[in-house]
Amino acid sequence: MLSFPSILAAIFLSVFVGGGVSVVIMIFSIYGLIYNIKLVRAEIGQVKNSDFVLGLRLNGISEKKILFSHMIPRAFFILWPLLPLLIGHTMIGLSSFSFLGLGVQPPTPELGVILKDSLRFANSFPHMIIFPGLFQITCVLIFTLFSDSLNMDLRTRRLGGIND
């Protein structure tokens, strides 16, 4: 599923179903959900075979309590830093679809629409393209740096102050 890009799937569906923000958001949500489910499944599989879970089982703790008290919180621990990355990915996807004319339509202000409308004035007024592009790059960079700082903070808390 990850070998088929989400943007390509969203283009196909928006052409067949009809363009619009709801179709694009639905596609990015489905792809994000599938990717996150795979990460949670891998983390639960790794935690399931760890020593502390074996110790909990030997102490007579039920599988249900182990799953909901230890495995699932640790699995969602890895998803928390990925949320800002998904926001940045969705921002780029929505603006690229609006630029292509498949997402938000021109009366609604959106970065892709602004870039598309200002493209015809690029030779005489280049600032009309530069500033919206820089704004989008800055927003995605802020979300990426926020995600990285969340990851580092959670990793240092998890490892007890050890930063690798």
Positive or negative CA dihedral for 125, 126, 129, 132? negative
What is the C-alpha to C-alpha distance for residues 66 and 56, in angstroms, rounded to an integer?
7
Q: How many domains does the chain have?
A: 1
Q: Give the CA angle between residues 153, 145, 31 to the nearest 5°.
A: 95
Mean pLDDT over 56-61 rounds to: 86
Q: What is the pLDDT of residue 14?
A: 74
**How many CB atoms are closer than 10 A to CB 41?**
11
pLDDT digits (tens, 9 = 90+) for 115-134: 888 888 888 888 888 888 89
Q: What is the pLDDT of residue 162?
A: 47
Looking at the domain assignment, is residue 1 inside a domain? Answer: no
Nearest to 31 by CA among 4, 61, 71: 4
Range of the domain at 75: 6-161
pLDDT digits (tens, 9 = 90+) for 80-128: 888 888 888 888 888 888 888 877 777 778 888 888 888 888 888 888 8
Looking at the domain assignment, is residue 10 inside a domain? Answer: yes
Q: Are 97 and 14 in contact (CB under 8 A)?
A: yes
- Check pLDDT > 50 for residue 164: no
What is the C-alpha to C-alpha distance for residues 144 and 28, in angstroms, rounded to an integer?
18
